[in-house]
DNA sequence: GTCTATAGGGGGATAGAC
DNA sequence: GTCTATCCCCCTATAGAC
């Protein structure tokens, strides 16, 4: 028996999430209505509820997917002989991964307060996991005698804040290529923690 | 003739702005209603319009005041003999000023997209002015031979992003005093740009 | 799966009494 | 200056036809 249902279901779902991603990033979750999302997709508002139980779940799914992709892309990176090499890899990975997903990154930082408490806890745990990976690199560098910092958590937070800041100004057609930007940041990061 | 009007006007205005500040910071501009603000102040919603022409102006005034205070506090800092000293002063000033005003800082970063185009341009110009002051310090450090960075704008953005990040985790009752935090950051900033 | 229609609730802002 | 009352609009989410 051929399935007669589901003719559009495989395409409408992704299109809803793509529209929500762009609209949430541009105007903010609270300022975007389900009607706007529906209009962007080309369906009526009621049809959205075939794909998401509610607006909150739509936001959560975008953030959850983003964090999962971040952590698995990060996990796919190899091991490194020294903490310095690991830190350079982290620096370049972070800048590149985030610059390729400006909308997701923006939402991940700006819409945390619009998550329900449970959803917030889930996202927060994933974010913490990512930070811990950098903190471990800092710790390793100290053990190896390559880094000299009087704390591990603060340098990790400082480096992530600094690198994520690239997204606020970088544009791919600008004065510098992403590769050049990576190198400038890596030089600053390297020196900042160096012994 | 004694003025009989204005009995509450001197106090209600500030209370409205204080309530809006807290609510906007906590829930976001778009998610907060004029009725909520009024309730927090203890007046009816219509009374708010004696103090602001509309909701947008309320947001703008908060951001404008914050940026004005930032720039004048910064201007009150003295001159310094070397770029290194100027950079240390900037670092400590930025962390302290921002950590004392978490709600204002949060709004200044998160609600830019909810400003009308004209209001956005005004705030953006003030923010740019602040960044330019740091960029000038970086430029000076290069001239003096004290700093070695292959760009001036990117290090300025990187340092500001790093320092502002303190607000995402610092709490005054925590493991470290603000003074200790300042010193940790200053060591990283100093080394990051050092020749 | 999508539509139309609607329930049920807020929203920003204004008018006019006091 | 503040209140009550209201205009007119939009919101999320659901029900039921097709």
Q: Which residue of A has its CA nearest to B116?
A: A27
State the Cα–Cα distance between residues A62 and A50, nearest whole angstrom: 17
Which of A26, A158, A184 is facing B150, going by the closest CB pair?
A: A184
Q: Is the pLDDT of residue A65 over 50?
A: yes
* Nearest residue, CB atoms, B191 vs list A30, A165, A192: A192
pLDDT at A38: 98
Q: Please report, for residues A39, A52, A134, A135, A153, the alpha-carbon distance to residue A150 in angstroms, rounded to integers and kept in the order given.
A: 53, 47, 16, 13, 10
Q: Say what the pLDDT of residue B2 is.
A: 34
H or E element in which residue A11 lies? helix A9-27
Residues 20-79 of A with CB under 7 A from strand C: 38, 42-47, 50-51
Name every residue whose Cβ is closer than 8 Å to that of residue B12 and which is 6 or more positions away in sequence: B41, B43, B47, B50, B51
Measured distance CA(A137)–CA(A193) in Å, rounded: 11
A54 three-state secondary structure: coil
The Å distance, CA of A54 to C1' of D18, is: 24
**CB interface of A with B, residues 147-186, below 8 Å:** 149-151, 154-155, 157-162, 164-165, 168-169, 176, 181, 184-185
Interior angle at CA B139, CA B102 and CA B155, nearest 5: 45
Taking C1' of C10 and every protein CA, the nearest residue is B33
Give the CA-to-C1' distance from B98 to D8 in angstroms: 42
Q: Is the pLDDT of residue A52 over 90?
A: yes
The model's pLDDT over B19-65, given as tens digits with 9 standing for 90+, comes to 999 999 999 999 999 999 999 999 999 999 999 999 999 999 999 99
Per-residue pLDDT, A188: 98
Q: For residue A7, is pLDDT > 80?
A: no
pLDDT > 50? residue A2: no
Between CA B188 and CA B193 the distance in angstroms is 9
User: How many angstroms is C1' of D16 away from CA of A3?
Assistant: 24
Q: Which of A176-185, B6-15, B48-57, B166-175 is least confident?
A: B6-15
* CA separation for the pair A112, A101 (Å, rounded): 17
Q: Which token pair is A19? A: 């529209």
Tell me, what's the pLDDT at A10?
81
B195 touches chain A (CB under 8 A): no
CA nearest neighbour of B156 among B172, B181, B137: B137
Q: How confident is the model at residue B9 (pLDDT cuts 50, 70, 90)?
A: low
Q: How far is B170 from chain A (nearest CA, A)?
A: 10
Looking at residue A5, what is its pLDDT? Answer: 40
Q: Name every chain B residue with its beta carbon within 8 A of the beta carbon of A162.
A: 158-159, 161-162, 165
Interface of A with B in 34-93 (CB under 8 A): none
What pLDDT band is residue B189 in, cutting at 50, 70 and 90? very high
CA distances from A95 to A4, A28, A128, A180, A181 (A): 45, 23, 18, 11, 9
Left, alpha or beta for A158 (phi > 0: left; psi -120 to 50: alpha)? alpha
Residue of chain A whose Cα is closest to the Cα of B150: A184
Cα–Cα dist A79/A48, whole Å: 43
A144 and A100 Cβ atoms separated by less than 8 Å: no
- Give me the A residues in range 53-72 that sit within 7 A (CB) of strand D: 53-56
CA of B112 vs chain A CAs: smallest distance (Å):
10
Strand D nucleotides within 7 Å of a protein CB: 1-5, 10-16
B12 touches strand C (CB under 7 A): no
pLDDT in tens, A94-138: 999 999 999 999 999 999 999 999 999 999 999 999 999 999 999
Å separating the CA of residue A18 from the C1' of nucleotide D8: 32
The C-alpha atoms of residue A152 and residue A140 are separated, in whole angstroms, by 10
Q: Which contacts (CB < 8 Å, 24+ apart) does range A143-151 have?
A: A143/A83, A144/A82, A144/A83, A145/A195, A146/A82, A146/A83, A146/A84, A146/A194, A146/A195, A147/A83, A147/A193, A147/A194, A147/A195, A148/A193, A148/A194, A148/A195, A149/A193, A149/B184, A149/B187, A149/B188, A150/B184, A150/B187, A151/B176, A151/B184
CB A112 within 8 A of CB A183: no
Q: How many other β-carbons are positioned within 10 Å of the β-carbon of residue A50?
A: 12
Taking only the tens place, the pLDDT of each residue in B118-171 is 999 999 999 999 999 999 999 999 999 999 999 999 999 999 999 999 999 999
Range A93-102 burial, b when 16+ CB lie within 10 A, else e:
bbbebbbebe
- Which pLDDT does position A9 carry in this prediction? 66
Q: Which has the minimum average pLDDT: A37-51, A67-81, A83-97, B4-18?
A: B4-18
| B88, containing H or E segment | helix B83-99
Q: Please name the residues in contact with B192: beta carbons below 8 A apart, sequence gap of 6 or more.
A: A188, A189, A191, A192, B155, B158, B159
Q: Is the pLDDT of residue B3 over 90?
A: no
Overall average pLDDT of the A19-39 stretch: 98
**pLDDT attached to residue A4:** 34
Domains recognised in chain A with CATH numbers: 7-52 (1.10.10.60), 55-193 (1.10.357.10)
Closest CA in chain B for residue A194: B191
Mean pLDDT of A160-172: 96
- Maximum Cα–Cα distance for chain B, whole Å? 69
Mean pLDDT of chain A: 95
């Amino acid at each position: 028996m051929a399935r007669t249902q589901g003719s559009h279901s495989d395409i409408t779902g992704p299109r809803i999430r793509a529209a929500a991603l762009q609209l949430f990033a541009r105007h903010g979750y609270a300022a975007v209505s389900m009607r706007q999302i529906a209009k962007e997709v080309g369906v009526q508002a009621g049809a959205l509820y075939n794909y998401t139980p509610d607006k909150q779940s739509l936001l959560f799914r975008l953030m959850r997917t983003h964090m999962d992709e971040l952590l698995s892309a990060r996990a796919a990176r190899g091991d490194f002989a020294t903490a310095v090499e690991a830190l350079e890899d982290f620096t370049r990975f972070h800048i590149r991964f985030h610059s390729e997903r400006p909308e997701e990154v923006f939402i991940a930082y700006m819409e945390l307060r619009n998550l329900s408490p449970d959803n917030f806890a889930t996202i927060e745990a994933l974010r913490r996991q990512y930070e811990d990976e950098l903190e471990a690199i800092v710790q390793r560098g100290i053990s190896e005698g390559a880094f000299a910092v009087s704390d591990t958590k603060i340098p990790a937070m400082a480096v992530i804040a600094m690198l994520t800041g690239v997204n606020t100004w970088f544009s791919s057609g600008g004065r510098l290529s992403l590769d050049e930007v990576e190198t400038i940041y890596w030089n600053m990061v390297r020196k900042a923690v160096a012994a």
